[in-house]
């Protein structure tokens, strides 16, 4: 990799200041995507600002109707948290299925969201539940956060501090793994919340997205057969060596039905 | 001490070292003053090199030297040789275009070697490489075997204007044509045997040192055959005297064939270590391995089987196009010919067989032997045809095999090989019993109730191992001998060090060979250590590939042991004041027949080295014997694999839910190690069938599967718990009765898996699914069958 400076600030304020002052610096929030790009020499930041030393970015809190997860909370912490298991059990299962054990022990929810990999799991949960992303500047609703491939609404110098999930009545995530990478070839998150159903799809398109037509039908009747005939047009989906757009489109419908069935079964 | 050692599942002696981090792999070797090499590789599949400007890079921090193909040409470094000459049907030798170690004038595949940077650190070498300015004239590329001979295809080598390396054939074409014209039924299949990328867990690596004081080189390298590596590098490429080059292949983390060959990297750094007067290390990164390790398989085949009204096979006709890649790798040419077409009889009495193989050059990495090497491809042809023919003729798939099995031995096939022994009915019967074939229809119905499609597939494979009798190999075009060497060094207190020309890169030779020696000498296995992988310590040996180690290397050891025992009898006779003819060697002791007088092996060893009471007038002191062994025939391991799959018709996801392998490896020395070899081979075979696909972009020639994120290797949760059984019909022409086991799993499994997939879908009208049978391919097969059924 190319040489870079390394900073390990103790507060959000200090981190933000370093980020503002250091040209071409990058935030390190677990590094499970960033470090490989450095190793491949695909990225050449002048400095990495490691958030691992900032205590206020960690932790999980279940409070009334909201589950709040600090940005630097690792996937394995989410997976094993009692509060997550009580509040949104499917989120704990999702976290337990991210990457491999090493990735889950180092990777963080904030890092995953800021990176917004088109095949990552967390974006599906955040969009599917309608969570809000808290930063050091503001609160960004999920619907405004994910803007494109590896792109988010975050501005320069903005750092995710926490994610707040309203507790859904029921939810489930079904992932079809790419046999090579084990990332989502298609992942569908279905959540029935206060008066509304949301369906979010990851892995299938350049960016996580909602399927409004499915949400409408499921709002009328929360049952798998309600969406059996609803397909996402392949034209908007990815086609690559792992799967054609047609196959991804087909999988979305199959997996969405399975997610509904799993949500109903409480799995 | 007298319990039988051979045949016992003794724990692997080498595992203490490996499991506690005590192994020494090539990258663990660090030498004082070591520098690092980084290879600048071609980003293009096919391009002319107009110029290379290295001025800026040469002045970058830490850089000692930068070499290009021009430097090597000027230094009269030759290209990499091919070790097997195939003669074209027109009588001409195959086309052997130059294979320069660093590209000269042209690059021919993505990853081709353009320049090497040698610097104090690897990072400095990489930084400098980014400053080398190569002016490429990009040419169009051809990557698929089936496209290479099309009119107007880009020409990879001027020496082969139609991209054809050779057209080769075996068998009696007229007899085959006659049999087809009178056939009751003909089954035809066309398929691709998918290209694979080996992916040993340890990437290739090398450390080269030149000692000016001795004008000698030491090369540590990840090689399956250090003597062959040295011979090819010194005699053919660098023009160095062999005795001035020591090649050490220390612990090696997997090879699967990909570490047989002489590669550019170790050749370049060996040469360069003298130029820069410093040791040089190179270790491949994973993507470099994907790009530049020799790949495997990559055949396009049309195959036809003619049957009579009773389901007896009358003739087999096969036409294969084999992708050689951009250059001929060390043994590339013999894989789709000698190790492929000669196996097309399979386990059957098919009386007439003809196979024509067209080998083509493309803008892809070189293709060479990969676990099984030609034999998985042959098994796939035969066993896919047999399952399909059974379905088409309405004969049970086990029954059609039984009707055609070879049952008398030795058996001369119509494609050169002479099988010495086997019992194919027995392996099939046992496999069917273990797999519970009788209960399959019940399981299928149960799966149906869960909405799943269940299928069962057979594969009755045969392989030719041992590689080979040298005289036969030579007649078939081999440019090397194929014996093996072994040496038994008995120490004065009776412990033994074994030196073998075989090489272990995961096979467990340090245990298996120790068992052979301990068993023969009647001494504890702890008293035997095995040394391999060092041209400075071992007799000239040919190394490990083609499941040859126990059959050829083990036999060389047995021959040396015979000499040790023969000499021991002479010594014992003297010590016991008896005639040599009266001495028997039993369980580690030399006995005078019919008496209570004996000497232990250790006592005899001590007498040999402390010859105070010794027939020095008739016998040399010492107890150290060696042997070279050249087999009289191949060995023919064979077996039956039965695979059961379940397919989710909604997604096309295929799970292997049962896999049974009953193999006949002849005598088994260590059943635990053998079972491990079978498991590993099955994993790779199932990987080929369901997961692994090397994909080059057909336009740009870019390798699209150049990381483990894109190339799907099988993992534990992709595989079932294997059911393994053994049948032992001892090999008739080596003293251990062994046949070899390393490749069997990878040879038999792909056909069994695809036969099972097709069986699960046959009721829909599906008769083939291309490998790898990915979820999308299976789903599409179901969809198109449904569409076709609707139309009909």
Quote the CA–CA distance of A177 and B403 in Å, as a whole number: 43
Task: Write out chain A residues lying below 8 Å of B123, CB-based.
Answer: 1
- Say which residue the tokens 């003739």 belong to: B315
The pairing of strands B35-41 and A209-210 is unpaired
Q: CA-CA distance, B754 to B685, in Å (whole number)?
A: 11
Regarding whether A113 and A69 lie in a shared domain, the answer is yes
**Is there a shared CATH topology between the B18-139+201-254+259-292 domain and the B299-468+633-791 domain?**
no
Same domain for A104 and A162?
yes
Q: What strands lie across the sheet with B185-193, from one edge to the other?
A: B164-171, B352-361, B313-325, B299-307, B185-193
CA distance A5 to A23: 11
3-state DSSP assignment of residue B644: strand
Q: Is the dihedral of CA B706, B710, B712, B713 positive or negative?
A: positive
* Beta-ladder partners of B328: none
Q: Say if CB B648 and CB B452 are below 8 A apart.
A: yes
CATH ID of B18-139+201-254+259-292, from 3.40.630.30, 3.40.50.300, 3.10.20.30, 3.90.1170.50: 3.90.1170.50
Closest Cα partner for B288 from B227, B192, B206, B369? B206
Instruction: Tell which phi-psi region holds residue B436, choosing left (phi > 0), alpha (psi between -120 and 50) or beta.
Output: left
- Chosen for mutation from A36, A179, A185, A240 (greatest number of chain B CBs closer than 10 Å) is A179
Domain ranges across chain B: 18-139+201-254+259-292, 299-468+633-791, 483-629
Q: What is the pLDDT of residues B63-104, one digit of tens each?
A: 999 999 999 999 999 999 999 999 999 999 999 999 999 999
Residue A6's SS3 state is: strand
Chain centroid offset of residue A172 CA: 14
Cα torsion B130, A34, A118, B288: sign: positive
Please tell me if residue A52 touches chain B, with a CB cutoff of 8 Å: no
Burial class (CB in 10 A: 0-12, 13-18, 19+), B90: exposed
Of all residues in chain A, the percent with pLDDT exceeding 70 is: 100
Question: Three-class SS of residue A50?
Answer: strand
DSSP string spanning B156-183?
S-TT-TTSEEEEEEEE-HHHHHHHHHT-
B427 CB burial (10 A radius; 0-12, 13-18, 19+): buried
Q: Which two tokens stand for residue B687?
A: 């990987």
Q: With a cut of 80, say whether residue B468 has pLDDT above it.
A: no
Mean pLDDT for the stretch of residues B461-486: 89
Top CATH class of B299-468+633-791 equals: alpha beta
**The predicted structure's pLDDT at residue B3:** 60
Integer Cα distance of B748 and B237 in angstroms: 37
Chain A, chain B: beta-carbon pairs less than 8 Å apart: 40
CA distance B782 to B786: 6
Mutation target to probe the B interface, by most B beta carbons within 10 A, among A40, A178, A227, A242 is A242
What tokens does B574 get? 């003297």
Strand boundaries in B69-147, DSSP class E: 106-107, 113-119, 133-138
3-state secondary structure B761-781: HHHHCCCCCCCCCCHHHHHHH
The total number of structural domains that make up chain A: 3
State the Cα angle at A239 between A234 and A241, rounded to 5°: 150
Cβ under 8 Å to A: B residues 635-664: 650-651
Is the model's pLDDT at B178 over the cut of 60? yes
Percentage with pLDDT > 90 across chain B? 96
Cβ <8 Å between A250 and B712 = no
Which residues between 162 and 221 in chain A have a beta carbon less than 8 angstroms from any beta carbon of chain B? 176, 178-181, 183
Do the bridges between strand A151-152 and strand B723-726 make them parallel or antiparallel, or are there none, so unpaired?
Answer: unpaired
What is the token pair recorded at A24? 């071409």
Helical (H) or strand (E) element with B63: strand B63-68
Mean pLDDT of B303-311: 98
Say if residue A63 is in the same domain as residue A106: yes
Q: Which of A200, A214, A215, A183 is nearest to A130 (CA)?
A: A200
State the pLDDT at residue B479. Answer: 87
Distance CA B60, CA B394 (A): 72
Give the separation between CA B594 and CA B608, rounded to whole angstroms. Answer: 25
A178, A180, A254 member nearest B650 (Cβ)? A254
What is the band of B1 on the pLDDT scale with cuts at 50, 70, 90? very low
- Backbone phi and psi for residue B611, each to the nearest 5 degrees, phi listed first: -80, 60
Task: Return the closest-CA partner of residue B133 out of B39, B49, B38, B74.
Answer: B49
Length of chain B: 792
Cis status, amide bond into B657, omega within 30 of 0: no
> Mind listing the pLDDT tens digit for each residue in B476-497?
899 888 899 999 999 999 999 9
Q: What is the ipTM of this complex?
A: 0.96
Q: Does residue A33 sit in the same domain as residue A77? A: no
- E-strand ranges in A86-159 read 132-135, 139-141, 146-148, 151-152
Q: Which of A247, A248, A253 to mutate to test the interface with B (most CBs of B within 10 A)?
A: A247
Closest residue, chain A, to B710 (C-alpha): A180
* Mean pLDDT on A205-212: 98
Whether residue A41 lies within 8 A of chain B, CB to CB, comes out as yes
The model's pTM: 0.97
Chain B contact present for A1, CB below 8 A: yes
**Mean residue pLDDT across chain B:** 96
Question: What length is written for chain A?
Answer: 267
Phi, psi for residue A165 in degrees, rounded to 5: -105, 125
Q: Which residue has the tokens 């190793």?
A: A39
- Residue B613: pLDDT band (50, 70, 90) is very high
pLDDT number for residue A251: 98
Q: What is the CATH number of the domain that holds A243?
A: 3.30.390.50
SS3 state of residue B376: helix
* CA terminus-to-terminus distance, chain B: 73
> What confidence score (pLDDT) does residue B39 get?
98
Which whole number is the average pLDDT over B611-639? 96
pLDDT at position B473: 87
Alpha-carbon span B457 to B460, nearest angstrom:
10
Cα separation of B146 and A47, whole Å? 50
Q: Which residues lie across from B645 on neighbouring strands?
A: B455, B656
Domain hosting residue A73, numbered range = 55-166
Chain B residues within an 8 Å CB radius of A247: 775-776, 779-780
For residue B405, the cross-strand partners are B348
Sign of CA dihedral B19, B21, B22, B28: positive
Q: Of B651, B710, B711, which has the smallest distance from its Cβ to A254's Cβ? A: B651
Residues 6+ positions from B71 with CB-CB distance below 8 Å: B102
- Contact criterion met (CB < 8 Å) for B713 and A180: yes
8 Å CB contact between B327 and B80: yes
Residue A23 burial (CB count, 10 A): 8
Tell me the per-residue pLDDT of B380-389, one tens digit each, with 9 for 90 and over.
999 999 999 9
**B710 and A CB contact within 8 Å:** yes
Query: Residue B298 and residue B1: Cα distance in Å, rounded?
Result: 50
Of the candidates B711, A147, A115, which has an alpha carbon nearest to the alpha carbon of residue A98? A115
CB A189 within 8 A of CB A124: yes
In this structure, the answer to whether residues A144 and A62 fall within a common structural domain is: yes
Average pLDDT over residues B642-652: 98
CATH 3.40.50.300 fits B483-629, yes or no: no
Q: What's the rounded mean pLDDT across residues A192-219? A: 96
Q: Does B709 reach chain A within 8 Å, measured CB to CB?
A: yes
Preceding omega of B791 cis (within 30 degrees of 0): no
Measured distance CA(A170)–CA(A194) in Å, rounded? 10
Query: Which of B143, B196, B287, B712 is most worth mutating to test chain A (most A CB atoms within 10 A of its CB)?
Result: B712
Same domain, A226 and A246: yes
Residues B554 and B575: their CA atoms lie apart, in Å, by 31
Q: Would you call A254 an interface residue with chain B, using a CB distance cutoff of 8 Å? A: yes
Which CATH number do you get for residue A127? 3.30.465.10
Residue B120 at interface with chain A, using a CB cutoff of 8 Å: no
Indicate the pairing of strand B589-592 with strand B352-361.
unpaired
pLDDT score recorded for residue A229: 97
Residues on chain A touching B43 (C-beta within 8 angstroms) = none
User: Is the pLDDT score of A69 beyond 50?
Assistant: yes
Q: Reduced to 3 DSSP states, what percent helix, strand and coil does chain A have, rounded to the nearest 5? A: 40, 25, 35
Tokens of B721: 């718990």
> pLDDT-derived band of residue B584, with 50, 70 and 90 as boundaries?
very high
């Amino acid at each position: 990799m190319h040489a870079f400076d390394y900073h390990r600030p103790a507060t959000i304020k200090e981190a933000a200041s370093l980020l503002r002052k250091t040209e071409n610096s990058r935030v390190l929030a677990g590094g499970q995507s960033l470090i490989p790009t450095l190793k491949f020499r695909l990225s050449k930041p002048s400095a990495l600002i490691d958030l691992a030393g900032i205590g206020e970015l960690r932790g999980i809190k279940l409070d009334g109707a909201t589950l709040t997860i600090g940005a630097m909370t690792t996937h394995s912490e989410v997976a094993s948290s009692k509060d997550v298991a009580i509040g949104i059990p499917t989120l704990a299962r999702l976290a337990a299925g991210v990457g491999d054990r090493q990735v889950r022990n180092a990777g963080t929810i904030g890092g995953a969201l800021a990176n917004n990999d088109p095949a990552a799991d967390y974006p599906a949960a955040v969009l599917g539940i309608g969570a809000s992303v808290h930063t050091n500047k503001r609160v960004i609703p999920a619907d405004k956060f994910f803007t494109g491939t590896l792109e988010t609404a975050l501005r320069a110098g903005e750092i995710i501090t926490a994610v707040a999930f309203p507790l859904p009545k029921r939810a489930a995530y079904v992932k079809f793994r790419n046999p090579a990478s084990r990332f989502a070839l298609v992942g569908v998150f279905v959540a029935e919340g206060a008066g509304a159903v949301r369906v979010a799809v990851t892995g299938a398109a350049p960016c996580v997205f909602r399927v409004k037509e499915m949400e409408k039908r499921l709002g009328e009747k929360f049952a798998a057969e309600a969406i059996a005939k609803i397909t996402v047009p392949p034209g908007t989906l990815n086609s690559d060596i792992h799967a054609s757009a047609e196959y991804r489109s087909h999988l979305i419908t199959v997996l969405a039905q399975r997610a509904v069935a799993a949500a109903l079964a409480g799995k | 001490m007298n319990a039988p050692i051979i045949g016992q599942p003794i724990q692997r002696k080498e595992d203490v070292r490996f499991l506690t981090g005590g192994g020494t792999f090539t990258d663990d070797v660090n030498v004082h003053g070591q520098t690092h090499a980084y290879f600048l590789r071609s980003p293009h599949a096919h391009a002319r090199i107009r110029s290379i400007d290295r001025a800026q890079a040469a002045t970058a921090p830490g850089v000692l030297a930068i070499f290009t193909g021009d430097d090597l040409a000027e230094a009269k470094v030759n290209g990499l040789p091919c070790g097997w000459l195939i003669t074209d049907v027109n009588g001409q030798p195959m086309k052997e275009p130059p294979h320069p170690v660093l590209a000269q004038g042209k690059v021919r595949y993505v990853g081709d070697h353009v320049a090497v940077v040698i610097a104090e650190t690897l990072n400095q070498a990489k930084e400098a490489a980014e400053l080398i300015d190569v002016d490429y004239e990009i040419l169009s590329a051809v990557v698929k075997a089936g496209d290479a001979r099309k009119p107007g295809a880009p020409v990879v080598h001027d020496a082969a204007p139609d991209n054809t390396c050779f057209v080769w054939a075996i068998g009696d074409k007229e007899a085959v044509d006659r049999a087809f014209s009178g056939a009751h039924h003909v089954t035809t299949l066309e398929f691709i045997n998918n290209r694979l990328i080996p992916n040993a867990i340890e990437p290739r690596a090398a450390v080269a040192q030149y000692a000016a004081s001795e004008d000698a080189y030491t090369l540590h390298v990840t090689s399956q055959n250090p003597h062959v590596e040295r011979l090819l590098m010194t005699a053919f490429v660098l023009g160095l005297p062999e005795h001035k080059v020591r090649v050490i292949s220390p612990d090696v983390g997997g090879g699967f064939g990909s570490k047989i060959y002489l590669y550019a990297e170790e050749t370049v750094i060996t040469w360069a270590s003298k130029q820069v007067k410093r040791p040089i290390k190179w270790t491949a990164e994973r993507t470099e391995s994907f790009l530049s390790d020799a790949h495997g398989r990559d055949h396009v085949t049309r195959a036809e089987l003619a049957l009579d009204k009773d389901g007896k096979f009358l003739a087999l006709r096969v036409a294969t196009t084999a992708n050689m890649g951009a250059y001929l790798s060390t043994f590339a040419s013999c894989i789709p010919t000698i190790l492929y077409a000669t196996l097309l009889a399979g386990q059957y009495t098919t009386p007439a067989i003809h196979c024509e193989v067209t080998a083509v050059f493309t803008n892809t990495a070189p293709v060479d032997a990969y676990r099984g090497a030609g034999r998985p491809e042959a098994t796939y042809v035969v066993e896919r045809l047999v399952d399909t023919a059974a379905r088409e003729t309405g004969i049970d798939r086990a029954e059609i095999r039984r009707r055609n099995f070879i049952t008398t031995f030795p058996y001369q096939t119509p494609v050169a090989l002479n099988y010495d022994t086997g019992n194919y009915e027995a392996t099939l019967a046992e496999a069917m019993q273990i797999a519970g074939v009788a209960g399959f229809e019940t399981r299928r119905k149960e799966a149906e109730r869960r909405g799943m499609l269940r299928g069962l597939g057979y594969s009755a494979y045969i392989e030719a191992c041992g590689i080979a009798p040298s005289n036969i190999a030579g007649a078939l075009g081999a440019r090397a001998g194929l014996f093996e060497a072994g040496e038994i060094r008995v120490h004065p207190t009776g412990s033994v060090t074994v030196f073998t020309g075989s090489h272990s890169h995961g096979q467990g030779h340090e245990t298996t060979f120790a068992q052979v020696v301990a068993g023969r000498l009647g001494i504890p296995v702890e008293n035997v250590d095995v040394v391999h992988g060092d041209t400075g310590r071992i007799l000239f040996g040919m190394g490990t590939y083609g499941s040859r180690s126990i059959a050829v290397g083990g036999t060389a050891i047995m021959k040396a042991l015979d000499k040790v025992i023969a000499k021991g009898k002479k010594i014992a006779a003297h010590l016991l004041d008896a005639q040599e003819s009266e001495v028997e060697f039993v369980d580690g002791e030399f006995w005078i027949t019919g008496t209570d007088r004996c000497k232990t092996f250790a006592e005899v060893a001590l007498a040999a080295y402390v010859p105070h009471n010794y027939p020095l007038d008739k016998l040399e002191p010492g107890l150290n014997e060696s042997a070279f062994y050249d087999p009289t025939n191949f060995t023919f391991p064979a077996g039956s694999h039965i695979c059961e799959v379940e397919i989710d018709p909604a997604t096309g996801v295929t799970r292997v839910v049962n896999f049974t392998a009953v193999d006949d490896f002849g005598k088994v020395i260590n059943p635990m190690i053998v079972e491990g070899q079978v498991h590993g081979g099955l994993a790779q075979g199932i990987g080929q069938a369901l997961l692994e696909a090397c994909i080059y972009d057909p336009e740009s020639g870019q390798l699209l599967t150049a990381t483990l994120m894109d190339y799907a290797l099988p993992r534990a949760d992709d595989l079932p718990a294997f059911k393994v059984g053994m049948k032992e019909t001892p090999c008739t022409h080596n003293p251990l009765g062994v046949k070899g086991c390393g490749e069997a799993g990878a040879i038999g499994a792909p056909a069994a898996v695809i036969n099972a997939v097709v069986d699960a879908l046959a009721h829909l009208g599906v008769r083939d699914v291309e490998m790898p049978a990915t979820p999308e391919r299976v789903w599409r097969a179901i969809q198109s069958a449904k569409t076709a059924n609707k139309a009909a």
